[in-house]
Structure formats: structure tokens, C-alpha cells
Amino acid sequence: MPRYADMSKAELEAELAQVRARYDEMVARRLSLNMARGKPSAAQLELSLPMLDILDAAADLTAEDGTDCRNYGVLDGIPEAKRLMATLLDDEPENVIVLGNASLTAMYDAMVRLMLFGTQGSTPWAQLPEVKWLCPVPGYDRHFTICEALGIQMIPVPMDENGPIMDEVERLVANDAAVKGIWCVPKYSNPTGATYSDEVVRRLAAMECAAPDFRIFWDNAYAVHHFSDDPAEQDAVLDIAVACRDAGNPDRYLKFGSTSKITFPGAGVAAAAASPANVAEIKRHMNAQAIGHDKLNQLRHARFLNEGAGLAEHMARHGALMEPKFRLVTERLEAELGGAGIATWTNPRGGYFVSFEGPAGTARRIVDLARTAGVVMTGAGATWPYGDDPADSNIRIAPSLPPLEELDEAMDVFTCCVKLAALEQLLGA
């Protein structure tokens, strides 16, 4: 296929007629396919079904420290769950607080605590005239929703394959004490799949911040979510805790993670890890909030995943189900759009998403066209703060949920919609 930019008006018009005819055919097929959210497929969920049999009536429901997991108690998690979550968060068990069923709740709670109480003696953020937050883009819509709900002003920061553009981050944090923090998804980022380079991690840890209580929300949602059972060296992320300590900013980070996309989303285990001072502060506040979380769930997760030692093998099974789907997506994009020169996309080695960049001003149209043809995508703009992608070009592709055959059909529709939107724009049609 020649590049659209090199085609004459007559050639473009012929292409438009052809693409439109194909699109109309697709609409007539009345498909119903969903690529909107990064949900594990049924086959992935089945991988964790044996966990449900671990705690039968005959099982020992006592944690290693003697805690009866059937009863109240233990604010910060049983020891075996702390070891599991420490493996996931690349930290020591003593720095881990095991939480409820979702890391998103943990991040929301952490932000609310900062707003209500400040941290390590600082003024509660809600009492300041304004609070600003750096949001690497494209990013995770639910992070942005937390900021928006709490009235925190979001500042988009561009990213590349190594993480946020640090010159820009350093400039923004240096002179404005209202800039209180940054969202980071350091590994297989949502949605680009980027893994932060060591240099980016070191610069985040060491940068001069006008706000002494600046916080990095380190959301390692995809810490072990590789497609290959032999992950690439460049996907090993430098530990932000070590980098912050080395830089003399030991309290700057808060790590978050969960087993949502390891076992069962919504029925997993979440955790945070932080410096000793921050752990003490968080526990102090949590003491008013909870008696403890679901220790039976902690116990079965710890046993099922062998306190972390079983993660690699379990995640290799997930990877084997995910890899063909991501391969299919990138192959179909290349086959259908590679020649036209109208789009770019990422080619991740792990995580849950492909980030797609279409021609400026077409993302909303593409997503609308796809919906009309029965394929639901993540809403255009969702990857930007306030749902506002100023170029209207980014679309998040989430291939995990549909079976391969359905994904193939969905990619047919999607690539057709991209061409249709691009041709309409080029021809003013």
C-alpha cells in the first residue's frame, strides 16, 4: 500500500470508496466485541482457580505467627502475605503494608491522607491554595480520576520509551512548590508499555523539588506481567526506594501494587511499601480506618503463589496467553496500516495495552466509527488528564479480554475505522 501522503486526490477517493464499502459491510455484520478495558480473559482467570481450593474446611487457617486468619486483627498483613507482596514490590517485608482488594483504593486513600493530614509534619495539602500533580501522558485514566475528584490540578508531561521526559519533570518541580507529586507506572506502563530506564528512576529520586513533601506514586501494577518467560534485561526496573535513599530523599516515594492481574481482579490482594517513617505514618492513620483486611485471602494468595517464589511460573502461563494476542494486534496494525504512513503504535514486551497514535484530530472519530460497527474501544481522550487529548490522536488498545478469533475481527474493524477517519480528514469528506 502506498503512503496516503503520496497518493493523488483521485487515488485517495478510490481508496475511500473501497474502505467505506468495507466499513458498511462490517456495520451490517452487527458485531459485539469489547476492547475497552484491560481485563484478563476467562482463560487467564482459570489459571488461578486452584487457589480457591487451598482453604477448604480441613486447611490450617493459622498464619505462621499464630494469627487465626478467621478472626479480627493484624492491621498491616500476615507475615507470609508481606513476603509475597514484598517480592512483587521489590522491597523488604518490614516495609510492606498489606491492604485490601485493590491498589486503586490504596492510592486514593494515600492521596486523601496527604490532602487531610499532610505528611511528616507538612501542611495538609487541602489547606493549600492549590495542589498540582504531574501526569506522564498517555497515562492511566483512573489515576487522573483520583486527582480530578480531589481537586488536584493535573499537568501532562510527555513520555518516551524510557519513561517521562525528565528535563520537563525537573523544570516543573524545581520552582513551583504547589507541584506535590507525580504518577509513575514504572514497568510496562499503561498504556505505552514503556519501562523506566535507570537514569529516569535516578533523576526522579534525586531531582530538586520546591515542595519538600513531594511524593512519587510508584504504581507497579505490571511488575511481573511479561509476555516472555525470559524477560528482557531492559525491563528490570531500578528500585525507587534504593534510588531515593541514595539521593538523600528517603521518604519521597510510595510504592503500590496488587495481585489483580495475577489472580482475580477485584478479589486479589493489594499492598503498599514505603520508608520506615512513611510506613509508621500510614499505620497511624490506618489505625482509625480499619482493624485489618481479609487475612483468609492473604493466606491463600501467599500459599498459592508460594510467598512470591511461585510468581514467575504462574506469570509465564499468563504471558503465554497474552503474547499471541499482542502479536496479533501488532501484526494486524502493521499489515493494514504499516504502508499508509498515518499511524504509529507501541510494541510492548509486557503489561496490558498497546498505545496507538492516529492522525491528529481523528481519535474520537475512530472510536465512534468502531462503536457503530460493534467494537467498543477505550474512550478517546481517556489516556489524558480531564479526558482531553489536545491532539485527539491517542487510542488505548486493550487486547487481553477477547479470544483470539474475536480479537482478529475487532482489529479488522479498528484498522478499517482508522483508514476511514484518515481518508475523511484528508479529503475533507
195 binds ligand PMP (CB under 6 A): no
Looking at beta carbons only, is 270 or 286 nearer to ligand PMP? 270
CB of 15 to ligand PMP, least distance (A): 36
C-beta of 89 vs 373, nearer to ligand PMP: 89
Alpha carbon 419 to chain centroid distance? 28
100-108, 193-201, 272-280, 342-350 -> range binding ligand PMP (CB under 6 A): 100-108
Q: Report the b/e string of 245-268 with b at 16+ CB within 10 A.
A: beeebbbbbbbbbbbbbbbbbebb
**CA nearest 329: which of 394, 399, 403, 244?**
399
Question: With respect to ligand PMP, which residue has the nearer C-beta, 104 or 207?
Answer: 104
CB atoms within 10 A of CB 219: 26
E-strand ranges in 48-201 read 96-98, 132-137, 153-160, 163-164, 179-184
Q: Is 111 a binder of ligand PMP (CB under 6 A)?
A: no
Could you check whether the bond before residue 40 is cis, i.e. omega within 30 degrees of 0? Answer: no
What is the C-alpha end-to-end distance of the chain, expressed in Å?
A: 21
What x-and-dash track marks residues 204-233 binding ligand PMP by CB under 6 A? ---------------x-x------------
For residue 140, state whether it binds ligand PMP (rule: CB under 6 A).
Answer: yes
**Which residues have C-beta within 8 Å of that of residue 173, sequence separation ≥ 6?**
134, 179, 182, 207, 208, 209, 210, 211, 214
Residue 183 is a binding residue for ligand PMP (CB under 6 A): no
Q: Does 141 bind ligand PMP (CB under 6 A)?
A: no
Bridge partners of residue 137, in order along the sequence: 158
Q: Binding ligand PMP by CB under 6 A: which of 249, 258, 393, 394?
A: 258
Q: Which three cell numbers stand for residue 27?
A: 456495520
Select 55 or 104, whichever has its Cβ closest to ligand PMP. Answer: 104
Cα-Cα-Cα-Cα torsion 280, 253, 185, 38, nearest 10 degrees, comes to 20
Closest to ligand PMP by CB, 4 vs 326, is: 326
Which of these segments, 101-109, 227-235, 378-386, 388-396, binds ligand PMP (CB under 6 A)? Answer: 101-109
Sketch the per residue contact string, 34 through 73, with ligand PMP: x for CB under 6 A, - otherwise: ----x-----------------------------------
How near is the Cβ of 42 to ligand PMP at its closest, in Å?
A: 17
Task: Give contact residues for ligand PMP (rule: CB under 6 A).
Answer: 38, 102-104, 140, 185, 190, 219, 221, 258, 260, 265, 270
